[in-house]
Structure 1
């Protein structure tokens, strides 16, 4: 009898396994593919490797701005893929070593529940006091004629390409779609984004998503919002995406189509029905302790819905096993940061203006443009801004950044939102000069019109 069996070795599962081992639990981790899950093998890490390739190309193309003459360069996606694979393999190996060092038993195989305390894998039955499901999610496909064509791929297949398509149509203007749009645009593809909703990045603060639309246009990426794909067909050697637009129907000619229309929970083969685990729209229902409708069976990460983020799954995994051990832990859902690796980067935590308005919260806004930040100017990356939201009690409820190194800067904002800091708590924190972080302090000061490097507000 084990203390805990975890199904799924992604960022939720393997982190939970290590924490469980630290708490003295005899733990088994079952993974059908490679540890690290989507994040490490087909998501966060591989795309960031390609993002760095794109960033290098972006810098080379702007070399003249830094008084450097470049006569020309060649980019090989095949070699970039080899670099990406090498990074992934190294990290996968590192996770395996961590699991081994922590005494976690790792089994490669496809698991299924056969009882509330029993998991079957590779013809063996394993009994455990607790079971944790952390099987994550898989790309969802738009149900439209032609979606099954070989030239219509998901993010999984996009990361295995060895040649850059001349024309790439991206269906979906969310995080994944726009990251790939920016990456392949820098690689040399002519990219067109088709988004069904009225705005790209619909879950973000509207001001940030609107600004991103402008930046995409500058990168020569065509974006169609409020546009529904009606059919995809292959004709005369090219792939045609038929779209019903806001005003009229149109067709996007491409060589490859990236389907980026969200993700769905991965529950196939788990036998949830057999043991009585309740789901809603395929997402596993859990209580405040991450326990499912069956006692002793828990679930975390993408498979339970909410924000589908690796770091959220990791935190849920830690908290779930700590609760099993009787500890009083919780996930601070009001302060889950999100990062988008586009050009420029976007990072956000807490409420947007629209969310605050919907909740009837009286709020104030402070902003600071990177164009007035010395470090950003020296980097040649002075586009974008930092935006701070504070409620009627001066508690910081939202931080939104679009600009250079937004993904690194958001940590300070996350600390503010997580700890429900007031404006007065942040003021007086000395930010080193010259750094991008100074823009955060200026935005905090601007909430009350006290920013130093901004002209006084007009009264």
Structure 2
């Protein structure tokens, strides 16, 4: 029996996972990548920003060692070292992905892909050659790119995207960030820790708009204490450059127009699917400004052609792309399994970290769902206090029967703690299923246990609610 041929367009966390899964199931797989294996996540997104986040966190921690009885003098920020660490991490992971593709006997072609009819793909190589490939199935995994709003002066030197700012070789004295979403706030925290005077301009009435409002409100207080200025319900109207090369962003706020002067401006208002160069019209694939239209198995309107990850606009997270890759390839290869909604955790690497899974309290109210709520403060957690990180909260939401519906964390290692909650939601666990599980002491995970027990008024380290 001849192996099915599969083409994957894009070698990011969706594309390379799709390719490896296809190879595992016996397909003959070719990956087409126009830039670097690993995609935006490994090269220009989540991995390099987390490397910078670690450097920033350590640098900030050096200023607070006295509380642990350690006095350090003369430490300094070495930008070449910071960038070197970032590139070493990125290089290691990219090489690892390339090795995995090779080990799975997956062909990798460097070039730009253009979809044609009849499941054909034209590949334009850097050398100027064009090759047409045919396949039984095609997986589109082209990711996304930064959105650039129509602001006058946005093309001025010193105005950068989230991908461009990663290559910085100096810390701007003043940094303005247009956009208070996840990417914007992560960079705000990084540069604030490095010593920049950071100002965030957010059009909506809340930064981190997809998160639970109570968590965001508490984080905003911490951000202000750290020196990050946040202007909500504010529109960036114009950018201009002064004779001294400083950039001025004119903004429209609730009380009228005002100017923000800075050395550099980061534009981080979101990302859009990278699909313009795919030639979707010729392939008769349906799409909109939000992305390529897909079924529950991530198949487009053309049988055998799938779209996963950011390019379908459903959930712009690397781990969502990887999960969609498995679903799509399994469907293409005839591996059947029951399709069900899977809770997707999200993490924001600020200080303190934020992580969330499931429904927010606002979503429950809007849906009219009766719910229970419990909160546990990290200030009452022994491990958090020994770490000097007592600021934070763990919030649990459940239905009236105690089945967990949402968990929202702001605190130390929130990005690690969220996965016990994700498993609980994935398995539709209730309070009784969780309360009998012993959590080691002293650990941060005890905060989740206590918050869950609090749903039924059984938490030991929470004062009883006043009746």
TM surpasses 0.5: yes
| One of 190, 193, 201 as aligned partner of 2:200 | 193
1:254-282 CA-to-partner distances (Å, cap 9, x unmatched) read 00000000000001221101111111115
Indicate conservation of the 8 Å contact 2:41/2:318, yes or no.
yes
**Are 1:242 and 2:250 an aligned pair?**
yes
**Are 1:31 and 2:33 an aligned pair?**
yes
Q: Which residue of 1 aligns with 2:88?
A: 86
**Are 1:140 and 2:142 an aligned pair?**
no
Q: Provide the secondary structure at the position in 1 that maps to 2:249.
A: strand
Indicate conservation of the 8 Å contact 1:78/1:163, yes or no.
no
1:276-315 CA-to-partner distances (Å, cap 9, x unmatched) read 1111115100112211111221101001112210000000
Equivalent-residue separation in structure 2 for 1:331 and 1:261 (angstroms): 33
Q: CA deviation at 1:325?
A: 1.6
Where does structure 1 lack aligned partners over 5 or more consecutive residues? none
1:82-132 CA-to-partner distances (Å, cap 9, x unmatched) read 211111111101000001111111111111112231111131111100011
Q: Which residue of 2 aligns with 1:95?
A: 97
Q: CA deviation at 1:334?
A: 4.6
| One of 266, 269, 274 as aligned partner of 1:266 | 274
Q: CA deviation at 1:59?
A: 1.1
Indicate conservation of the 8 Å contact 2:308/2:324, yes or no.
yes
Indicate conservation of the 8 Å contact 1:387/1:401, yes or no.
yes
Normalised TM-score (structure 2) = 0.97
Q: Which residue of 1 aligns with 2:59?
A: 57
Indicate conservation of the 8 Å contact 2:304/2:332, yes or no.
no
Indicate conservation of the 8 Å contact 2:356/2:409, yes or no.
yes
Equivalent-residue separation in structure 1 for 2:339 and 2:98 (angstroms): 26
Equivalent-residue separation in structure 1 for 2:79 and 2:154 (angstroms): 25
| One of 372, 378, 388 as aligned partner of 2:386 | 378
Runs of 4+ in structure 1 over 6 Å off: none
**Are 1:357 and 2:358 an aligned pair?**
no
Equivalent-residue separation in structure 1 for 2:283 and 2:208 (angstroms): 38
Equivalent-residue separation in structure 2 for 1:355 and 1:45 (angstroms): 30
Equivalent-residue separation in structure 1 for 2:347 and 2:332 (angstroms): 30
Equivalent-residue separation in structure 2 for 1:440 and 1:58 (angstroms): 27
1:194-248 CA-to-partner distances (Å, cap 9, x unmatched) read 0000011111110001011001001101000000011011013210010111122
Q: CA deviation at 1:11?
A: 0.2
1:365-389 CA-to-partner distances (Å, cap 9, x unmatched) read 0110000000000000000011110
Indicate conservation of the 8 Å contact 2:290/2:313, yes or no.
no
Aligned counterparts, 1:6-21, within 5 A: 6-21=8-23
Q: Provide the secondary structure at the position in 2 that maps to 1:456.
A: coil
**Are 1:41 and 2:49 an aligned pair?**
no
Q: Which residue of 2 aligns with 1:209?
A: 216
Aligned counterparts, 1:71-82, within 5 A: 71-82=73-84
Indicate conservation of the 8 Å contact 2:13/2:322, yes or no.
yes
1:127-158 CA-to-partner distances (Å, cap 9, x unmatched) read 10001100000011121101111211001111
Q: Which residue of 1 aligns with 2:321?
A: 313
Indicate conservation of the 8 Å contact 1:8/1:133, yes or no.
yes
Equivalent-residue separation in structure 2 for 1:340 and 1:124 (angstroms): 41
Q: Which moved more, 1:216-225 or 1:70-79?
A: 70-79
Indicate conservation of the 8 Å contact 1:335/1:414, yes or no.
yes
Equivalent-residue separation in structure 2 for 1:258 and 1:90 (angstroms): 28
Q: CA deviation at 1:78?
A: 2.5
**What value does the CA root-mean-square deviation take over the aligned residues?**
1.2
Normalised TM-score (structure 1) = 0.98
Equivalent-residue separation in structure 2 for 1:279 and 1:86 (angstroms): 38
Indicate conservation of the 8 Å contact 1:315/1:331, yes or no.
no
Equivalent-residue separation in structure 2 for 1:306 and 1:120 (angstroms): 27
| One of 109, 112, 126 as aligned partner of 2:111 | 109
1:29-51 CA-to-partner distances (Å, cap 9, x unmatched) read 11111111110000010000000
Indicate conservation of the 8 Å contact 1:319/1:330, yes or no.
no
Residues 344/160 of structure 1: CA separation in 2 closer, same or farther (3 Å cut) = same
